[in-house]
Chain A
Amino acid sequence: MLADGPVGPLPTVVSEQSVYAAFVVNITRFVQWPDTAFSSAEAPLVIGTFARDPINAELDIAVQGERVGARALQAIRLHSLDDLARCHVVYLAGSEAQIATVLGRIAGKPILSISDGDGFLELGGHVRFVPRPPRTQLRIGVPNLRRSGLQARAQLLRLGQADGP
């Protein structure tokens, strides 16, 4: 269907982590949390990552000055499992066991979980990044989202399903 030759190439300098960071930020725009997930209407939307996650630097840049509606985006580091309670989004990079533990803690809570690990969706995760250069594809665990009380916008769902597993 490409009619007019190749569309302009994505910037080559862009690292995977920065793409992931941009994707995490962008995902917040296509997901709807229940009102009970926030303490107030202006309460920031908090994105949590593990302390030594390579995405942290990129993510901090990505959330800089970003807002979703009335809420500011905030990136925090998870130092204990208890910190999970403050988050609305968690980006999980690590071992399958770690990820399973975290997912176990947030199961049934309106906390959006994102990861690029294989089998993430099967563990109960919500969104999985699938890097397939030159692009990164998205996989959405729709039943998992429903169980967590979260809703994804149609555009996101179409994107996630269109790409297929």
Chain B
Amino acid sequence: MSLVKGTPLRKKLTRLAMTCSVVALITTAVSLGTYEWFFYRRVILNQLVTLSMITARNSSAALAFDNADDAQRVISALEAEPAILGVALYDDRGDRVANFARDPRTMTFPVTAPSDGQYLQDGRFEIVVPVAETKRFGTLLVEADISVLRGRITAYVAVLLITTTVSGFLAFLLARRLKKRITEPVQALAEAASSVQTKDDYSVRVTKRENDELGTLTDAFNGMLDRIQENQVELHRSEERLRLALDSAQIGTWDWDIERSDVKWDARNYAIYGVKFGERVTAEVFWKNIHPDDVAKVRAAIDAGFSSGGFATEFRLELESGLRFIVLRGLVLANVAGRPHRAVGVTIDITERRRAELRVVESEQRFRVVAEKAPALIWSCEANLKRDYFNRTWLSFTGRTLEQEMGDGWRASLYEEDRERWQAIASAAAGLTDPYSVEYRLRRADGALRWMIETASPRLAADGSFVGYLGTCIDITVRKENEAELEAHVRLRTHQLELANQELESFSYSVSHDLRSPVRVIQGYAEVALEEAEAGRIDTLAQPLHRISKAAKRMDELISAFITLARISRAELSAQRIDLSKISEEIVGQLRAVQPTRAVQFSLQRGLTALGDERLIRVVLDNLLGNAWKFTTGREPARIEFGQVPSKKGPAFFVRDNGAGFNEAFAGKLFQVFQRLHAASEFEGLGVGLNTVQRVIQRHGGEVWAEGRENEGATFFFTLPENAPELNREPAEAARP
């Protein structure tokens, strides 16, 4: 597996090490060689010169004292120096005194002394030095062959080559060993990197070997893999989310390499355009299904996007499955030169949304049509209860214009007393977004107050937020009235039932108590009569029998009264207009006929009529006038009056007398059955009359009451309502137990 292009790193490292070593060695060798060449030569020459001068010095005494043998000995010592080819010694006259030649065949000396100096001649080096000891005694000539130097250099080069070769080999071995410590971690890193690259496996980790830069690099590499792995997981999640988002939102994505005319679509984009997945996306494929009317628009949008950097356009696609509404959005990226080279974006299928919008519009229209023609009053309001719509029915009901009604304007028609209630209920419901229903009175165009029931349902926006109410109002006045009537009827019936119970109670009481008193009288006198009869006293029988007869008569009267009372309670009322004045006059006439001796002044208001059952009203007047007649007994003059006066309870008829009157503290008891305020001995009576009066009046829906003082007369008032003889508005509150 070749990880690095071309030569692997380990070879490179070896090459590097070897190149460095060899270059260093060669440089050193050349430097030393050059040094040798230039400086060793100088050293050699200096050495030769020095040697010459020493020899010259040593030979000074030989010359000074003409000792040629000694001179010869001195110069012959130079034979030890291999570079020296020959030496010659000249005296102060320039004559050669002694010489020495390594090879006499090739060596010739000048006959006379040459001048001092150093000369290079034919590859030979000539050194000419003076021989002196405070005085010049002669000249020494030394000839040397510096070619010996070349041999030395050659040997030197040979040594150098061997050294270089050996050093290079050692360096190679050393590099091989050392590089393992470098290349192995690098190799491990490279293999891990390759694994990441080729297999996308981010789980591999490299073992750290040493705490050097490679160790740091390994740590960094592992750390980088950790992060990449984390990022990849996050990326996968993110991609998943994006894919889900795109899928659920019906969004396709596309990528258009403009310079290479290459377009890439994702699967959903293919699906949106109705193109088989994977098919090459050409211009033809793109434009094929776009609605012909939209082609120009889309083209213009894309062209504009090329200069502005982005575009968004909407068009229709004609697919086999039907017409689709599409939104195309793109971002145009420019290259360095500023020319668009790539565009990326999304394709969104908004058909469902568009259809839903159309449905909403249609629904709205339908609502308008229905609402405008509906018989109900229809309105809508915003969340703050300000109304923004009234149908025609509403406007024609209130007789106002839409402009007048808008907002809170409609409240002008809301009955003043009901406004607060309406506000309370509507506000409370709006606070809870609850539907509500409220009844109120609304002023109709003709000014009539009509009872309306308003029913409102909350309107919610798509996001569920409350945006107001849609409400209807229905005129319920008739129903309301019927309800009131029904209620009154129920109350009346209830009252009648209560009365019936009272009567039953009274009847029971009468039977058990009051009816028993004449029975006791009859029983008592019957025993007396029996005793008298047994004793044979016939003449004294009349008295108890008379009493018995009287009591029986009284019982009969009581029973008759009970029957009358019962009849009154049960009798059907046949209402008609009756003349109360006339009836009163007749009754007083009858009373006068019964007791012609009594002088009674009767004043009568004529022409007083009322709606009622004549037979029962006659019973009322019989009782009241009869009472007046009865209780004025002994008055001189007795006065009885019948008339009508206004009262709190409407026009009231009255019967007034100046008779015995009554203690007003007991006025409540007046109308109870068999309650008598006066002793029977004082005034005759059964105690049933006033109760009968009250019952009749109550059945007529009227009221009866009395005013009076003891011994100062009494006045009985009663009312007879005009509107309903049988079902009157309110039953008398005076219905006491």
Contact = CB atoms under 8 A, between A and B. Distances in A.
The residue in A29, A68, A135 that gathers the most chain B C-beta atoms within 10 A of its C-beta is A29
Contacts of B151: none
B134 A4 contact: no
Given A29-B135, A30-B133, A156-B61, A136 B72 contact: no
B276 to A, nearest CB: 117
A30 B133 CA distance: 7
A2 B72 contact: yes
B65 A26 contact: yes
B104 interface: yes
Contacts of B68: 7, 135
Interface string B94-108: 011111110010000
Contact of B95 (A8, A156, A163): A8
Nearest to A135: B66
A97 interface: no
The residue in B57, B96, B104, B135 that gathers the most chain A C-beta atoms within 10 A of its C-beta is B135
Interface in A107-165: 135-138, 153, 155-156, 158-159, 162-163
A165 B57 CA distance: 25
A159 B74 CA distance: 11
B72 A1 contact: yes
A16 interface: no
Contacts of B100: 1, 3
Contacts of A19: 66
Nearest to A10: B66
Contact of A67 (B69, B109, B133, B134): B134
A135 B64 CA distance: 12
Contact of B61 (A1, A4, A30, A135): A30
B134 A159 contact: no
A1 B72 CA distance: 7
A146 to B, nearest CB: 19
Nearest to B96: A7
B93 to A, nearest CB: 8
B60 interface: yes
A8 B134 CA distance: 25
A155 B73 CA distance: 12
B67 interface: yes
B134 A135 contact: no
Interface string B206-247: 000000000000000000000000000000000000000000
Contacts of A135: 66-68
A46 to B, nearest CB: 17
A66 interface: yes
Nearest to A68: B134
Contacts of B454: none
B135 A155 contact: no
Interface in B60-96: 60-62, 64-70, 72-73, 76, 95-96
Contact of B66 (A30, A136, A153): A136
A69 B134 contact: yes
B96 A159 contact: no
A155 B57 contact: yes
Interface in A39-88: 66-69
Nearest to B76: A1
Contacts of A7: 68, 95-98
The residue in B61, B66, B73, B133 that gathers the most chain A C-beta atoms within 10 A of its C-beta is B61
Nearest to B59: A155
A112 to B, nearest CB: 15
Contact of A158 (B61, B72, B76, B97): B61
B58 interface: yes
Given A29-B134, A135-B67, A155 B60 contact: yes
A138 B61 CA distance: 11
Contacts, number: 68
Contacts of A10: 66
Contacts of B104: 3-4
B95 to A, nearest CB: 4
A23 interface: yes
Nearest to A1: B72
A3 B134 contact: no
A158 B70 contact: yes
Contacts of A26: 64-65, 135
Given A8-B95, A158-B70, A153 B65 contact: no
Contacts of A138: 65
A155 B99 contact: no
A26 B66 CA distance: 11
The residue in A66, A68, A155, A156 that gathers the most chain B C-beta atoms within 10 A of its C-beta is A155
Contact of A159 (B61, B72, B109): B61
Nearest to B63: A26
A155 B373 CA distance: 159
A69 B61 CA distance: 17
Contacts of A4: 96, 99, 101, 104, 109
A88 to B, nearest CB: 15
A1 B104 CA distance: 12
Interface in B29-74: 57-62, 64-70, 72-73
Nearest to B88: A4
Contacts of A68: 134
B134 A155 contact: no
Contact of A155 (B72, B96, B109, B133): B133
Nearest to A2: B72
A4 B68 CA distance: 13
A69 B135 CA distance: 9
A8 B67 CA distance: 13
Contacts of B99: 3-4
Nearest to A28: B134
B404 to A, nearest CB: 151
Contacts of B60: 155
Given A138-B65, A158-B61, A3 B101 contact: yes
Contacts of A1: 72-73, 76, 100
Given A29-B134, A30-B133, A153-B133, A159 B97 contact: no
A98 B259 CA distance: 134
Interface string B124-160: 0000000001110000000000000000000000000
Nearest to A6: B68
Contacts of B69: 162
Contacts of B57: 155
Interface string B415-426: 000000000000
Contacts of B97: 7-8
B70 A162 contact: yes
A80 B573 CA distance: 220
Contacts of B59: 155
CB-based closest 4 A-B pairs? A155-B61, A8-B95, A26-B64, A29-B133
Interface of B: 57-62, 64-70, 72-73, 76, 95-101, 104, 109, 133-135
Given A7-B96, A66-B135, 17 more contacts: A1-B73, A1-B100, A2-B72, A3-B99, A7-B68, A7-B98, A8-B96, A23-B65, A26-B64, A26-B135, A30-B61, A30-B64, A135-B67, A138-B65, A155-B57, A155-B133, A163-B67
9 contacts: A1-B72, A1-B73, A3-B99, A4-B99, A7-B95, A8-B97, A135-B66, A155-B58, A159-B61
